[in-house]
């Protein structure tokens, strides 16, 4: 039997659990041509939720397009990828897709290649001057609405990791999007992002182009009870029963963050592949194996940190403190002053090692915390 737990890829269909309310809301909003901002810390399940919403919209006959802003770093690349995303959504035959792309970004002289698997890539051969490029972008952003009118269908576009737009086209691109999108009646837009401070600034700061542009949905965790039934159901369906307390232990260790819960279950299942029952001790054993496997990466990360940053991480791993600036915490771990803790916290956040969860500073990677605990705290 194959391991039934997947992580790190979009969870869809039977691998997708809960989120009924959010899904209904997203589908309803996008179907009505609204704009929605979906914000959560990393690995909570935004991309999966969005793909399930797109699948439901497609079933309703809506044309759906998807674009990951991490794939692009310049406005020209944005144009090429966006053209491809819309073309793939609007057309089915490869030649029509290619024709569509050529038609919508002619001044970039797209160099289109098709792999043996049929995957279409778009390179750019010309870099138009700024005014021409701005015009091209505006025209391109109009295409979904025009396509919707031509095909007498609705359109929904999903931009993943949308905060990256600031590195791609800055405020100029945001402004162009705002002016075009707010006039479109038949196109719904979903903007998802995990860099919460940037996403929040985009929509909640009245000096920014996207201010009040749409509904903001902060995605929380899947309720522990739901997640717990989902995983025991999967263990059960693969012929394994769990000893009492095992699900709770999994949820506790993985902090009910879907990615980590599924990652841990995958590892536990591997450890019990030829057994019928899953003992509670399998959880700690799986964490050991996981952390061991990731150790080379953590070592190089650790080596790159200043002593004060390492001390703060060790203190956080040891205590699980919620207030890093309390004198009790600072003194018991000899961290110096509140200002030095603040500096380390800012640098660790900038490196992506710490992030806020419900207003509390946490390790972005829970396995990194476990690694520190094992290596330096003997736990």
Contact footprint for ligand ATP (CB under 6 A): 6-11, 15-19, 40, 42-48, 194, 222, 258-259, 262
The alpha carbon torsion through 55, 194, 286, 222 (nearest 10 deg) reads -60
Token couple for 40: 């959560």
Residue 47 in the binding site for Mg ion (CB under 5 A) = yes
Answer for the pair 95, 103: CB distance below 8 angstroms, yes or no.
no
Question: Which positions from 203 to 222 touch Mg ion by CB under 5 A, shown as an x/- string?
Answer: --------------------
Distance of closest approach, residue 76 Cβ to ligand ATP, in angstroms: 25
Rounded distance between C-alpha atoms, residue 201 and residue 204, angstroms: 5
Distance of closest approach, residue 161 Cβ to ligand ATP, in angstroms: 7
Rounded distance between C-alpha atoms, residue 85 and residue 144, angstroms: 10
**Could you report how far apart the first and last alpha carbons of the chain are, in Å?**
34
User: Could you give phi then psi for residue 111, rounded to 5 degrees?
Assistant: -105, 105
- Partner in contact with 226, chosen from Mg ion, ligand ATP, none, beta carbon below 5 to 8 Å by kind: none
Which residue's Cβ lies closest to ligand ATP? 45
- Partner in contact with 16, chosen from Mg ion, ligand ATP, none, beta carbon below 5 to 8 Å by kind: ligand ATP
Distance of closest approach, residue 219 Cβ to ligand ATP, in angstroms: 7
Looking at beta carbons only, is 53 or 136 nearer to ligand ATP? Answer: 53
Rg from Cα positions in the chain: 23
Q: Which ranges of 221-323 does DSSP label H, i.e. alpha helix?
A: 224-237, 246-253, 258-271, 281-303, 307-319
Distance of closest approach, residue 38 Cβ to ligand ATP, in angstroms: 9
Looking at beta carbons only, is 16 or 368 nearer to ligand ATP? Answer: 16
Distance of closest approach, residue 51 Cβ to Mg ion, in angstroms: 10
Looking at beta carbons only, is 196 or 340 nearer to ligand ATP? Answer: 196
Looking at beta carbons only, is 47 or 64 nearer to Mg ion? Answer: 47
Dihedral sign, Cα of residue 66, residue 217, residue 316, residue 340 = positive
Q: Kindly state the DSSP code that residue 220 receives in the 8-state scheme.
A: -
- Partner in contact with 191, chosen from Mg ion, ligand ATP, none, beta carbon below 5 to 8 Å by kind: none
Looking at beta carbons only, is 47 or 145 nearer to Mg ion? Answer: 47
Q: Kindly state the DSSP code that residue 274 receives in the 8-state scheme.
A: T
Which whole-number Å values give the CA distances from 8 to 44, 113, 211, 261, in the listed order? 11, 28, 32, 11
Distance of closest approach, residue 84 Cβ to Mg ion, in angstroms: 19
- Partner in contact with 31, chosen from ligand ATP, Mg ion, none, beta carbon below 5 to 8 Å by kind: none
Answer for the pair 110, 121: CB distance below 8 angstroms, yes or no.
no
Distance of closest approach, residue 124 Cβ to Mg ion, in angstroms: 26
Answer for the pair 86, 143: CB distance below 8 angstroms, yes or no.
yes
Looking at beta carbons only, is 159 or 181 nearer to Mg ion? Answer: 159
């Amino acid at each position: 039997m194959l391991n039934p737990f997947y992580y790190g890829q979009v969870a869809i269909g039977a691998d997708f659990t809960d989120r009924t309310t959010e899904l209904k809301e997203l589908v309803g909003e996008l179907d009505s041509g609204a704009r929605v901002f979906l914000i959560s810390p990393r690995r909570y399940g935004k991309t999966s939720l969005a793909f399930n919403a797109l699948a439901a919209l497609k079933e309703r006959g809506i044309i759906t397009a998807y674009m990951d802003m991490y794939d692009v770093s310049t406005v020209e690349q944005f144009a090429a990828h966006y053209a491809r995303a819309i073309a793939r959504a609007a057309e089915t035959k490869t030649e029509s897709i290619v024709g569509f792309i050529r038609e919508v970004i002619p001044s970039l002289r797209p160099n289109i290649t098709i792999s043996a698997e049929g995957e279409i890539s778009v390179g750019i051969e010309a870099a138009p001057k700024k005014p021409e490029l701005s015009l091209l972008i505006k025209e391109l952003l109009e295409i979904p609405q025009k396509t919707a009118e031509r095909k007498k269908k609705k359109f929904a576009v999903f931009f993943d990791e949308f905060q990256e737009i600031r590195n791609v086209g800055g405020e100029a691109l945001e402004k162009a999007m705002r002016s075009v999108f707010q006039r479109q009646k038949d196109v719904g837009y979903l903007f998802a992002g995990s860099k919460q401070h940037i996403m929040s600034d985009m929509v909640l700061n009245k000096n920014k182009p996207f201010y009040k542009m749409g509904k903001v949905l902060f995605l929380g965790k899947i309720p522990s009870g739901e997640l717990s039934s989902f995983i025991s159901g999967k263990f059960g369906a693969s012929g394994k029963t769990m000893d009492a307390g095992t699900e709770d232990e999994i949820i506790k260790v993985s902090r009910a963050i879907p990615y980590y819960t599924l990652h841990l279950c995958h590892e536990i299942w591997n450890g019990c592949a030829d057994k019928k029952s899953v003992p509670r001790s399998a959880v700690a054993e799986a964490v050991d194996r996981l952390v061991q496997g990731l150790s080379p990466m953590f070592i190089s990360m650790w080596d790159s940190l200043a002593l004060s940053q390492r001390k703060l991480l060790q203190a956080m791993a040891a205590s699980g403190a919620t207030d890093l600036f309390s004198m009790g915490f600072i003194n018991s771990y000899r961290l110096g002053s509140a200002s030095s803790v603040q500096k380390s916290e800012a640098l660790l956040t900038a490196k992506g090692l710490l992030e806020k969860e419900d207003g509390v500073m946490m390790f972005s990677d829970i396995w990194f915390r476990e690694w520190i605990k094992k290596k330096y705290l003997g736990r």
